[in-house]
A and B are shown apart, each in its own frame.
Chain A
Amino acid sequence: MKTFLILGGGTGGTMVANKMSHHLDPAEWKIIVVDENENHYYQPGLLFIPFGIYSPADVVKPKRDFYPQNVEFVLSKIEMIEPDQNRVKLEKGKRMITYDTLVIATGSRIAPDETPGLLENGWHKNIFDFYTIEGATALSRFLKFWKGGQLVLNVAEMPIKCPVAPLEFLFLADWFFHERGIRDDVEIIFATPLPGAFTKPRASSILGDMLETKNIKIEADFNIMEVDNTQKAIRSYDEREIPFDLLVSVPTNMGSEVIERSCMGDELSFVPTDIHTLRAKKWENVWVIGDAGNTPTSKAGSVAHFMLDVVVENILRQMEGLEPSAKFDGHANCFIESGFDKGILIDFNYDVEPLPGKYPLPGFGPFSLLKESAVNHWGKMTFRWVYWNMLLKGEEMPFESQMSMAGKWK
């Protein structure tokens, strides 16, 4: 009996488990998923919690509900991965699993301890993250009765999970304070290490203009050195200081601690991965899906979804003794919620930056690219259903894994 081991049962791991269970003969293969957390969070939904659009119950379901019957789910911390020995040590029962094929889907996490002062006295009191259920919920309680002041949103360091999320937060904050009737009492500042609103030029300029229209000030090239909650200010390495009343932080993102313990990661504990085949660079029978790897693409569920078919095909090829095919193109597709029931869609890959135009989608679209529309907002809100009911199960979706130029304006 051979073992197909998946570490991490979130978006990527669940999709791989579902797909592989159709392909592998249960008489020959055993599929095991290991994860230390019982809950599956719909992570795009965390963004809506601070503004009371979603409650925590809207974004959580038991992980077990999404695995097929022939998959063994083990709820345990992973102590160590030993890829040279093809085995993994678990904390629970000190179990040792020897694998034939390993998929790493351990994701990324926020590491607020990387920024001096961030975790001190203000954490979840007047300093919040919104990348965890705890942070998003605490922030929602704070915002409910906040009378206004200076709101600073800071991105500590790139790369981060879903690089558009900070922009969505800003747009939604602008909308939320309008609705509450206190927009004039709130100054919104976006302090980012990037040279502008976004990484790629066309999107950066269009999104930058939107920030300006909404009277959100941008402090670019801001590399945070420390948080000083006594003086209520953040400081950068080049000695700029921004005062705040409310600090919303997107802390440094890092890969799982088990990757670091097992010496499998780069300086941010992301696993070095071939950007086109999605195989771990150092180990032939180790594959990486989603944001656990260091591929220079958005760390987002849509990307994990576009990786899925390539990973599965390459694993099946390997099982037949064939070389992997280098098909992954870095495709990402993100709805950007822009407030006032509108949204923007961007679609891009390693080589093509987000462009304006139309995104054709039979039966649903077209969606406007790089432009606000109500249909895009509707697409974003519907996506939660699609995520739970189709995407995680690895069902056929009406999008191609590889990006298409159809509808895009050059």
Chain B
Amino acid sequence: MTNTILENVEFDNEGFMIDPNAWTKEIAIELAKEEGIDDLTDNHWKIIDFCRQGATDTGGAPTLRSITKGTEVSTKELFQLYPKGPAKKVARISGLGKPEGCV
């Protein structure tokens, strides 16, 4: 499979985009596929948009709690939209760095 969209995108060794400004919606769609989400619904986008917005204010990817508080999507629902690790998955799909959980 050729993936021309991701061809020129640079990632760090954990798979996060190096330059968040190079992010486009097309890239997000491809990254979502890599994360096992074939179809990004409006609810998915609502969260991605929130993360992109939040990142411009603070520079880092938002934590799980700030996503649920900011979007009023419940944690349970978030796990249904982005199974396993939602915070990390959304950060990656949104072209942001790893969420700053701690340390």
Contact = CB atoms under 8 A, between A and B. Distances in A.
B79 A238 contact: yes
A267 B66 contact: yes
Given A223-B64, A296-B60, A163 B102 contact: yes
A268 to B, nearest CB: 7
A267 B69 contact: yes
A238 B65 contact: no
A73 B84 CA distance: 49
B75 A158 contact: no
B36 interface: no
Nearest to B58: A272
Interface in B60-77: 60, 63-66, 69-70, 75-76
A266 B66 contact: yes
B101 interface: yes
A159 B102 contact: yes
B100 interface: yes
A341 B83 CA distance: 42
Interface in B67-103: 69-70, 75-76, 78-79, 83-85, 88, 100-103
Contact of A298 (B70, B84, B100, B103): B103
B80 to A, nearest CB: 9
A341 B78 CA distance: 44
A200 B98 CA distance: 11
A332 interface: yes
A221 B103 CA distance: 17
Contact of A199 (B60, B65, B103): B103
Contact of A238 (B60, B66, B84): B84
Interface string A156-182: 011110010000000000000000000
Contacts, number: 51
Interface in B4-58: none
A237 interface: yes
A151 interface: no
Nearest to A236: B79
Interface string A109-125: 00000000000000000
Nearest to B80: A237
A225 B85 contact: no
A296 B100 contact: yes
Contacts of B66: 266-267
A115 to B, nearest CB: 11
A163 B103 contact: yes
Interface residues of B, number: 19
Q: Looking at B69, B84, B85, which has the most chain A CB atoms within 10 Å of its CB? A: B85
Contacts of A267: 63, 65-66, 69-70
A368 interface: no
A194 B85 CA distance: 10
A298 B101 CA distance: 10
Given A223-B64, A237-B76, A266-B66, A158 B84 contact: no
B83 A157 contact: no
Nearest to B14: A201
A297 interface: yes
Nearest to B85: A221
A93 to B, nearest CB: 36
Interface string A180-201: 0000000000000111001110
Contacts of A221: 84-85
B71 to A, nearest CB: 12
B64 A157 contact: yes
Q: Looking at B78, B83, B84, B102, which has the most chain A CB atoms within 10 Å of its CB? A: B102
Contacts of A296: 60, 100, 102-103
Contacts of B76: 225, 237
Nearest to A161: B102
A266 B70 CA distance: 11
Contacts of A198: 103
Contacts of B75: 223, 225, 237
A35 B69 CA distance: 30
Contacts of B100: 296
Nearest to A330: B103
A160 B63 CA distance: 13
12 contacts: A157-B64, A159-B103, A163-B102, A199-B102, A199-B103, A200-B103, A237-B76, A237-B79, A238-B79, A266-B66, A267-B66, A298-B102
Given A157-B64, A160-B102, A268-B65, 6 more contacts: A158-B63, A195-B85, A199-B101, A225-B75, A238-B79, A348-B103
Interface of A: 157-160, 163, 193-195, 198-200, 221, 223, 225, 237-238, 266-268, 296-298, 332, 348
